[in-house]
Structure 1
């Protein structure tokens, strides 16, 4: 996501003036100054949010835990497994966790979500790598890192004693040109991007399908060329599908994924014909439930089946890549407004709104991330299904979840179309329900959950995350305390994809990059760099030290953290000076920068080995 933040705590006695629509009328900026939301903004947001049905409170899902009183009197519950139970008041301590259906005495039916209230945690502390998978190419990949490269990273990490990989979002974008570069603006949060397939490992592939010269050209590029890679892969994958797409195992897998997969595959086929934004399609195709869409699906069964088959191949290759290692996948805060999820759930999204962040200390212009938000009451009316499917689809097959901007489960900064990023307002969400759903999905998948809690953190957030055993995200660049004082229930890191690499910070090239790429005032950029340098040099790093020495100094600090997960950045390990993303611009080569050391050569790098020794406690 094109965004950045710092950790700012809002004072506990601040009253934001929340109205019946969930709109917060006042907010505090990074300097603790209070701002009033414009009346025109409030009016516009109220219009978009609309009025919930009068019976919503009687029909919305009940999200609870064993041992709690449902507050509904005597109810009949049909459990997921088909069994029937009667509950009178308190839910028994042994009541099965999961998604059930209850019926009250007056015949009203509603979803019952029973959560353990706590996420799964690994049994012991470990270290691992943060990886931008698209950047982690090898000699065999087609100019972009793929799932076979992830498998290489996994076996290498396991061999060195590491316990996890944290990867960028792997979600699908539109199967059209130009390809969306940002992993944080996907078309869906439920399905994955076929650009990450290793073509040679799909069934039905033949070498004759590959333009070898074009692949060599891609491999020689210094930046990821997604358009060229997708053009080549799309053709080779289509040829492989033509040979093997009728596999019985695929038919069984496809049937098990149900309507969700069919809807995504149909959107993908339509996008190839009519463009990546469903809002610009012929009107009859804009409604996913229409007879015209059903007729299209039947008439174009081959194209729809191809896109479903791609997801099967992604599922197979991801599971082979991760093995038993925990791979923490990233859940973006939202999706493209023209994408597959927005098409399927258009009635649940707030149309004419995008989400972002107000101005703060590290981005004084504010931020607009481009994704439409889910309308809180409509999300409840949809039985939380869009959220559940997004969490489950992201967490599947890998053992970990990082929730981008986890504060968005409490409130989101809504920006009306045509307004600047500073001219928005916070809108509240049913955070208790959403967090307990995360805990249930974590429990089922035995997946660790990390909440990216960087930014303006209001009272109660840290406590709510800790109660659910959602790990905090501790970043050296933002923390005043020595890492030795950081909590155990955290993922510890030096930097993030939106922040300077150690080498870039130390040499000053990152500040120059930021000045060239954005409109941020030079004084703000220079001040930000000076603040981060104070963190880097607090152990006495010499002024004339090399970039490699600066990286070692940063990670000597980091490994003092008692945190459950300690994350090493591959960019830092190979002394890359450019951060993956400079927030606030689309002109720079964001999300395209390749690691200067191929994946299959990382094991021979002394700079990489130095970080491994630090993380392993050998130096």
Structure 2
């Protein structure tokens, strides 16, 4: 029987289990440090923290009036009625006013079985791109996918980073999980672009390089977008939209404006600007109103283009596990963040040193005390306008590995989160946005996580490279795929190019690398030695097509026979997240291997029981 770790009143587990179910004790020094960081919640927290409940649930109080979102007041006697409206409401009770959430149990179910493309959008350049794949390229990919009979497109996180030189390349370390990166704008399609000289030839020349140069792209796009903004300004449509977005957009645009003057880490700013509530901030915004408005306007343009790019197809957007410690979300929610620690992963079979992802975690009780707003806003914004959400490292809704800043990743411990509340909020936002939800549950998954996901209708995520079972025995309630951005492509694995690149970057010993490649090749049984890349890719997708899973996903990298994976964890001297696809978006539909992969998955979805 698997032992259950002891959890203290701070939510810290005293031990943890590795992938081999071996138990490891957490050092007392680590526990003491994390207790200090977490702190003690106020004595009246339970009297003011939100109650997340479903219709039919018993409440913690006997009698109460509930002010619903639409202003209706309903009396509740002990439990929420079965017909109680879903939403965020205000509960008045003898113990005071408490924010409440009425949620369904399951998230929105997919309309039916479907297959689709997984796309690193930045890599998908076309002849019209300015050095990076953009939302017009996503629109073209979506149209191609629809013509091929696909039902969805899965994309990398589109979240914004600091608008400075030294652009963060990783989509998984954004400055915010609520707003999008203007690098993804197709400049020629921004409202007002027809009134200025775009210098389009200079923009398209940014695609001549073999790598994606985000600094050069941002410098060019920012200069032209600023000219469009001052010439056009968005008019009444932008003004109305900006007003509707309220304080969150104002905070983001203010942060971005300050970044342009004082740098991308709010900790280094002048003291009077480090807190969103400071009186000096109002004066700063008044002096820099045009730049603040510009960054808000960029988000409006992104909203328009993403809506057009998605059309009537489900576009599954990716939610990173965290955000940069110096970024906009950390600035806005600094009172809820843990200082002196970051999120990561314990040592495992793929990384013997553990991992430190660099994002500061939210303190669980402080997140509750903030009425879950940091979580709600991130989920809602990432779902918006596209119809699907993939939650990176979904186990983080249950527990996160906290790494003290003065130790290694191996010196961390798990801290527990209110998973039931968080999953209910995901379900509520799913119904509001009419969006399906996939949880990335790869790696070490503790008992109960997948059961809770299934209960809430969150699809599991199954990979050919990870699963020992034949795909035919994979669960139906899942998204099935071959690989991810962090793992070898089929071509890279089959030819040995991926392991050779790992050698060059020193990601493991010779024995470890060969053992890893051999274990992955075992997932391609029956493929003859000496088979071509095309044969290997087709064979892998034929196996994938045998899965009964609700969603089948293939990467464009695999469908084009790409040898290099988008990201190789543990490397700092490799151009991770900066490798363009070898074929332009304009030419994808005619690529023979891509056509074969599309047909294979379409046949699998069409003929499976």
Partner of 2:374: 386
2:350 is equivalent to residue 337 of structure 1:
no
Q: What's the offset of the Cα at 1:208?
A: 5.5
Match of 2:231 among 226, 239, 243: 243
Of residues 548-557 and 358-367 in structure 1, the stretch that sits farther from structure 2 once superposed is 358-367
Shift of 1:13: 3.3
Decide which of 290, 295, 300 is 1:312's aligned counterpart: 300
Aligned equivalents of 1:482, 1:383: Cα separation in 2: 44
Task: Give yes or no for the alignment of 1:124 onto 2:104.
Answer: no
SS of the equivalent of 2:193 reads coil
Deviation at 1:616?
1.5
Higher RCO (CA 8 Å, separation ≥ 6 residues): 1
SS at match of 1:171: coil
The yes-or-no answer on 1:43 pairing with 2:29 is no
Partners of 2:390 and 2:506 in 1: how far apart? 27
Which position in structure 1 is the counterpart of 2:16? Answer: 27
2:419 and 2:288 map into 1 onto residues whose CA distance is 41
Q: Which residue number corresponds to residue 346 of structure 1? A: 334
Query: Is 1:82 the equivalent of 2:82?
Result: no
Equivalent residue number for residue 144 of structure 2: 156
Name the counterpart of 1:368. 356
Match of 1:99 among 88, 95, 101: 88
TM-score, length of structure 2 as denominator length: 0.98
Assess, with a 3 A threshold, how the Cα gap between structure 1 residues 259 and 448 changes in structure 2: closer, same or farther: same
1:246, distance to aligned residue in structure 2 (A): 4.8
Structure 2: unaligned runs, 5 residues or longer? none
Residue 528 of structure 1 deviates from its aligned partner by 1.1
The separation in 2 between residues aligned to 1:118 and 1:243, in whole angstroms, is: 47
> Aligned residues, how many?
605
Matches within 5 A, 1:107-506: 108-206=96-194, 209-212=197-200, 214-506=202-494
> SS of the residue aligned with 2:117?
strand
SS of residue in 2 equivalent to 1:506: helix
Mapped contact 2:317–2:388 kept (Cα < 8 A): yes
Q: Give the one of 533, 537, 550 matched to 1:564.
A: 550
For structure 1, the 5+ residue unaligned runs are 1-11
Aligned to 1:616: 602
Deviation of 1:518 after TM superposition, in Å, equals 4.2
Q: Does structure 1 conserve the Cα–Cα contact (< 8 Å) formed by 2:128 and 2:204?
A: no
SS, match of residue 424 in structure 2: helix
Q: Distance in 2 between matches of 1:207 and 1:99?
A: 43
- Per-residue Cα deviation, 1:448-491 (whole angstroms, up to 9, x for no partner): 10000001111110100000110000000000111111111100
Change (3 A) 1:246 1:482: closer
Superposed CA deviations along residues 348-388 of structure 1, whole A, max 9, x for unmatched, are: 01011111101111122211111000000000000000000
1:527 to 515, 520, 539: 515
Confirm or deny: 8 A CA contact 2:192 2:234 kept in the other structure: no
**Cα offsets for 1:418-443 (capped at 9, x unmatched):** 21111100000000000000000001
* SS of match in other structure, 2:389: strand
Is the 8 Å Cα contact of residues 138 and 598 (structure 1) preserved in structure 2? yes
Per-residue deviation at 1:59? 1.2
1:586 CA displacement: 2.6
Q: Which deviates more, 243-252 or 509-518?
A: 509-518
Query: Distance in 1 between the 2:474 and 2:36 partners?
Result: 44
Asked whether the equivalents of residues 486 and 568 of structure 2 are also in contact (C-alpha less than 8 Å), the reply is yes
Q: Does 2:587 align with 1:607? A: no
- In the alignment, structure 1 residue 594 sits paired with structure 2 residue 580: yes
Aligned residue number for residue 533 of structure 2? 547
What are the superposed Cα offsets for residues 31-54 of structure 1, whole Å, 9 maximum, x if unpaired? 322111111111111110000001
How many angstroms apart in 1 are the aligned matches of 2:266 and 2:197?
A: 31
Is the contact made by 2:2 and 2:21 (CA closer than 8 Å) also made in structure 1?
A: no
1:336–1:342 Cα contact (<8 Å) kept: yes
CA distance in 2, matches of 1:523, 1:421: 23
Query: C-alpha separation between the residues in 2 aligned to 1:449 and 1:548?
Result: 32
CA distance in 2: counterparts of 1:522 and 1:84, whole angstroms: 68
Q: Which moved more, 1:239-248 or 1:261-270?
A: 239-248
Q: Secondary structure of the equivalent of 2:603?
A: coil
1:188: how far off? 0.3
Corresponding residue number in structure 1 for 2:46: 57
TM-score by length of 1: 0.96
